[in-house]
Amino acid sequence: LHPHADASVCGSDAVATRLDRVRSVIADACERAGRHPGDVVLVAASKNQPDHMVEVAIAARHLVFGENRVQEAQEKWPAIRSRRPGVELHLIGPLQTNKTAAAVALFDVIQSVDRPSLCASLSREIAKTSRHPILFVQVNTGAEPQKSGVSPADVDRFIEDCQRQYGLSISGVMAVPPVGQNPQPHFALLAEIASRNGLRSLSMGMSGDYAAAIEAGATHVRIGTAVFGPRPDANLLNQPTGGT
Ligand SMILES: *Cc1c(COP(=O)(O)O)cnc(C)c1O
Protein backbone atom coordinates (compact mmCIF):
# COMPACT_ATOMS: atom_id res chain seq x y z
CA LEU A 1 0.00 0.00 0.00
CA HIS A 2 1.30 3.42 -0.91
CA PRO A 3 2.07 5.40 2.27
CA HIS A 4 0.36 8.53 0.96
CA ALA A 5 -2.77 6.60 0.02
CA ASP A 6 -2.73 5.06 3.48
CA ALA A 7 -2.54 8.49 5.10
CA SER A 8 -5.49 9.80 3.09
CA VAL A 9 -7.63 6.76 3.69
CA CYS A 10 -7.26 6.35 7.42
CA GLY A 11 -6.55 10.04 8.08
CA SER A 12 -8.20 11.63 11.05
CA ASP A 13 -9.20 8.71 13.26
CA ALA A 14 -5.82 7.11 12.87
CA VAL A 15 -3.95 10.26 13.89
CA ALA A 16 -6.23 10.89 16.89
CA THR A 17 -5.80 7.27 17.99
CA ARG A 18 -2.04 7.36 17.55
CA LEU A 19 -1.81 10.63 19.48
CA ASP A 20 -3.73 9.08 22.36
CA ARG A 21 -1.43 6.09 22.35
CA VAL A 22 1.70 8.27 22.31
CA ARG A 23 0.31 10.42 25.14
CA SER A 24 -0.31 7.35 27.24
CA VAL A 25 3.17 5.93 26.56
CA ILE A 26 4.57 9.31 27.66
CA ALA A 27 2.43 9.26 30.82
CA ASP A 28 3.59 5.70 31.66
CA ALA A 29 7.25 6.56 31.09
CA CYS A 30 6.87 9.64 33.31
CA GLU A 31 5.27 7.55 36.01
CA ARG A 32 8.13 5.03 35.93
CA ALA A 33 10.64 7.88 36.10
CA GLY A 34 8.78 9.72 38.87
CA ARG A 35 8.23 12.68 36.56
CA HIS A 36 5.19 14.79 35.75
CA PRO A 37 3.75 14.22 32.23
CA GLY A 38 3.36 17.99 31.89
CA ASP A 39 7.16 18.26 31.98
CA VAL A 40 7.54 16.44 28.66
CA VAL A 41 6.69 18.27 25.43
CA LEU A 42 5.58 16.14 22.51
CA VAL A 43 6.92 17.73 19.33
CA ALA A 44 5.02 16.15 16.41
CA ALA A 45 7.54 15.84 13.57
CA SER A 46 5.43 16.83 10.57
CA LYS A 47 8.06 16.82 7.81
CA ASN A 48 6.62 15.62 4.49
CA GLN A 49 3.14 15.57 6.00
CA PRO A 50 0.48 17.42 4.02
CA ASP A 51 -1.55 20.23 5.60
CA HIS A 52 -4.57 18.03 6.21
CA MET A 53 -2.58 15.65 8.44
CA VAL A 54 -1.39 18.61 10.49
CA GLU A 55 -4.95 19.95 10.71
CA VAL A 56 -6.15 16.58 11.98
CA ALA A 57 -3.53 16.61 14.73
CA ILE A 58 -4.54 20.16 15.68
CA ALA A 59 -8.18 19.07 15.79
CA ALA A 60 -7.06 16.36 18.25
CA ARG A 61 -5.73 19.21 20.42
CA HIS A 62 -2.08 18.85 19.54
CA LEU A 63 -0.35 22.20 19.04
CA VAL A 64 3.43 21.63 19.02
CA PHE A 65 5.11 20.67 15.74
CA GLY A 66 8.62 20.18 14.43
CA GLU A 67 9.80 20.73 10.86
CA ASN A 68 13.15 19.77 9.34
CA ARG A 69 13.45 22.17 6.44
CA VAL A 70 12.96 25.91 6.54
CA GLN A 71 11.62 26.02 3.00
CA GLU A 72 9.02 23.31 3.56
CA ALA A 73 7.95 25.04 6.77
CA GLN A 74 7.65 28.38 4.96
CA GLU A 75 5.38 26.83 2.36
CA LYS A 76 3.23 25.01 4.89
CA TRP A 77 2.95 26.92 8.15
CA PRO A 78 2.01 30.58 7.59
CA ALA A 79 -1.43 29.57 6.27
CA ILE A 80 -2.03 27.00 9.00
CA ARG A 81 -0.90 29.45 11.66
CA SER A 82 -3.19 32.20 10.46
CA ARG A 83 -6.08 29.79 11.12
CA ARG A 84 -4.59 28.32 14.32
CA PRO A 85 -2.81 31.01 16.31
CA GLY A 86 -1.92 28.74 19.27
CA VAL A 87 0.54 26.58 17.36
CA GLU A 88 4.18 26.32 18.49
CA LEU A 89 6.73 25.52 15.80
CA HIS A 90 10.19 23.97 16.29
CA LEU A 91 13.01 23.70 13.77
CA ILE A 92 14.53 20.24 14.28
CA GLY A 93 16.65 20.03 11.11
CA PRO A 94 19.84 21.79 10.05
CA LEU A 95 19.75 25.55 9.48
CA GLN A 96 21.67 27.12 6.60
CA THR A 97 23.05 30.53 7.43
CA ASN A 98 21.26 32.12 4.46
CA LYS A 99 17.92 30.98 5.90
CA THR A 100 18.45 32.42 9.36
CA ALA A 101 16.13 35.39 8.82
CA ALA A 102 13.32 33.13 7.62
CA ALA A 103 13.88 30.74 10.53
CA VAL A 104 13.84 33.51 13.14
CA ALA A 105 10.64 34.87 11.60
CA LEU A 106 8.87 31.50 11.57
CA PHE A 107 10.06 29.27 14.42
CA ASP A 108 9.39 29.57 18.15
CA VAL A 109 12.19 27.14 18.98
CA ILE A 110 15.35 26.43 16.96
CA GLN A 111 16.82 23.12 18.12
CA SER A 112 19.76 22.95 15.71
CA VAL A 113 22.26 25.67 16.68
CA ASP A 114 25.59 24.03 15.89
CA ARG A 115 28.31 26.38 14.61
CA PRO A 116 29.78 29.85 15.17
CA SER A 117 28.73 31.24 11.75
CA LEU A 118 25.13 30.36 12.56
CA CYS A 119 25.43 31.96 16.00
CA ALA A 120 26.67 35.19 14.43
CA SER A 121 23.84 35.17 11.95
CA LEU A 122 21.19 34.36 14.61
CA SER A 123 22.54 37.08 16.83
CA ARG A 124 22.22 39.67 14.03
CA GLU A 125 18.68 38.57 13.09
CA ILE A 126 17.46 38.53 16.67
CA ALA A 127 18.82 42.05 17.20
CA LYS A 128 17.04 43.23 14.04
CA THR A 129 13.65 41.76 14.86
CA SER A 130 11.49 41.60 17.93
CA ARG A 131 11.52 37.82 17.79
CA HIS A 132 13.48 35.76 20.31
CA PRO A 133 13.22 32.09 19.43
CA ILE A 134 14.19 29.66 22.15
CA LEU A 135 17.53 28.08 21.19
CA PHE A 136 18.91 24.58 21.71
CA VAL A 137 22.40 23.44 20.76
CA GLN A 138 22.49 20.28 18.68
CA VAL A 139 25.08 17.77 19.84
CA ASN A 140 26.50 15.07 17.57
CA THR A 141 26.65 12.53 20.40
CA GLY A 142 27.96 9.77 18.14
CA ALA A 143 30.61 12.08 16.61
CA GLU A 144 29.41 10.95 13.17
CA PRO A 145 31.32 12.80 10.43
CA GLN A 146 28.31 13.36 8.13
CA LYS A 147 25.93 14.49 10.85
CA SER A 148 25.23 18.03 12.05
CA GLY A 149 25.79 18.99 15.64
CA VAL A 150 28.67 20.05 17.85
CA SER A 151 30.97 17.25 18.91
CA PRO A 152 30.73 16.26 22.58
CA ALA A 153 34.36 17.31 23.09
CA ASP A 154 33.63 20.88 21.94
CA VAL A 155 30.15 21.43 23.27
CA ASP A 156 30.89 23.06 26.65
CA ARG A 157 33.09 25.65 24.98
CA PHE A 158 30.52 26.19 22.22
CA ILE A 159 27.69 26.80 24.67
CA GLU A 160 29.84 29.29 26.53
CA ASP A 161 30.72 31.08 23.28
CA CYS A 162 27.04 31.24 22.30
CA GLN A 163 26.30 33.19 25.44
CA ARG A 164 29.51 35.23 25.90
CA GLN A 165 30.54 35.94 22.35
CA TYR A 166 27.20 36.05 20.57
CA GLY A 167 24.84 37.05 23.36
CA LEU A 168 22.56 34.10 22.63
CA SER A 169 20.68 32.54 25.47
CA ILE A 170 20.77 28.74 25.17
CA SER A 171 17.92 26.82 26.81
CA GLY A 172 18.78 23.23 26.04
CA VAL A 173 20.47 20.59 23.94
CA MET A 174 19.22 18.25 21.24
CA ALA A 175 20.60 15.05 19.74
CA VAL A 176 19.77 12.46 17.09
CA PRO A 177 21.65 9.29 18.11
CA PRO A 178 23.29 7.16 15.40
CA VAL A 179 20.87 4.90 13.54
CA GLY A 180 21.09 1.25 14.52
CA GLN A 181 22.84 1.81 17.85
CA ASN A 182 21.50 1.49 21.35
CA PRO A 183 20.39 5.08 22.03
CA GLN A 184 20.74 4.82 25.84
CA PRO A 185 24.40 5.90 26.11
CA HIS A 186 23.61 8.84 23.82
CA PHE A 187 20.67 9.86 26.00
CA ALA A 188 22.86 9.62 29.09
CA LEU A 189 25.62 11.66 27.44
CA LEU A 190 23.19 14.40 26.37
CA ALA A 191 21.65 14.52 29.85
CA GLU A 192 25.12 14.86 31.35
CA ILE A 193 26.01 17.69 28.93
CA ALA A 194 22.79 19.55 29.81
CA SER A 195 23.35 19.08 33.51
CA ARG A 196 26.97 20.25 33.61
CA ASN A 197 26.06 23.31 31.54
CA GLY A 198 23.05 24.17 33.68
CA LEU A 199 20.57 23.74 30.81
CA ARG A 200 17.01 22.65 31.52
CA SER A 201 15.74 21.41 28.16
CA LEU A 202 16.71 18.05 26.74
CA SER A 203 15.40 17.15 23.28
CA MET A 204 15.89 13.45 22.60
CA GLY A 205 13.79 10.43 21.70
CA MET A 206 11.90 9.62 18.49
CA SER A 207 9.16 7.13 17.58
CA GLY A 208 11.29 4.07 18.33
CA ASP A 209 12.79 5.12 21.65
CA TYR A 210 10.93 7.99 23.29
CA ALA A 211 9.93 6.07 26.42
CA ALA A 212 13.60 5.33 27.12
CA ALA A 213 14.48 8.96 26.38
CA ILE A 214 11.92 10.17 28.91
CA GLU A 215 13.29 7.80 31.53
CA ALA A 216 16.72 9.32 30.78
CA GLY A 217 15.35 12.83 31.36
CA ALA A 218 14.03 14.08 27.99
CA THR A 219 11.93 17.25 28.23
CA HIS A 220 11.14 17.23 24.49
CA VAL A 221 10.47 14.14 22.38
CA ARG A 222 10.28 14.52 18.59
CA ILE A 223 7.84 12.02 17.18
CA GLY A 224 6.84 11.58 13.55
CA THR A 225 5.69 8.13 12.46
CA ALA A 226 4.16 7.15 15.82
CA VAL A 227 1.84 10.17 15.47
CA PHE A 228 1.21 10.43 11.72
CA GLY A 229 1.92 6.90 10.49
CA PRO A 230 4.39 6.19 7.69
CA ARG A 231 5.90 9.34 6.20
CA PRO A 232 4.98 10.21 2.61
CA ASP A 233 7.89 10.52 0.22
CA ALA A 234 9.11 14.14 0.09
CA ASN A 235 8.72 14.18 -3.71
CA LEU A 236 5.00 13.51 -3.51
CA LEU A 237 4.50 16.82 -1.79
CA ASN A 238 6.41 18.70 -4.39
CA GLN A 239 8.97 19.62 -1.73
CA PRO A 240 12.55 20.33 -2.64
CA THR A 241 14.90 17.88 -0.97
CA GLY A 242 16.76 20.71 0.74
CA GLY A 243 18.33 20.50 4.14
CA THR A 244 21.92 21.52 4.51
C1 LIG B 1 11.95 12.94 11.39
C2 LIG B 1 12.61 13.32 12.67
C3 LIG B 1 12.12 12.88 13.89
C4 LIG B 1 10.94 11.94 14.02
O5 LIG B 1 11.27 10.68 13.52
P6 LIG B 1 10.27 9.43 13.73
O7 LIG B 1 11.17 8.26 13.77
O8 LIG B 1 9.35 9.45 12.57
O9 LIG B 1 9.57 9.64 15.01
C10 LIG B 1 12.75 13.32 15.03
N11 LIG B 1 13.82 14.15 14.99
C12 LIG B 1 14.33 14.59 13.83
C13 LIG B 1 15.51 15.49 13.85
C14 LIG B 1 13.75 14.16 12.63
O15 LIG B 1 14.28 14.59 11.50
Q: Is the CB of 47 under 6 A from ligand 1?
A: yes
Distance CA(159)–CA(137), nearest Å, equals 7
CA 98 to chain centre: 20
The three-state secondary structure class of 17 is helix
Mutate to test the pocket of ligand 1, among 173, 206, 209 (most ligand atoms within 8 A of CB): 206
Cα-based distances in Å from 237 to 74, 88, 240, 242: 14, 22, 9, 13
Element (H, E) at 42: strand 41-45
The three-state secondary structure class of 33 is helix
What are the E-state strand segments in 83-234? 88-91, 109-113, 134-138, 170-174, 201-203, 220-223
pLDDT in tens, 27-59: 999 999 999 999 999 999 999 999 999 999 999
pLDDT in tens, 126-173: 999 989 999 999 999 999 999 999 999 999 999 999 999 999 999 999
- Which atom of ligand 1 lies at the shortest distance from residue 92's CA? 13
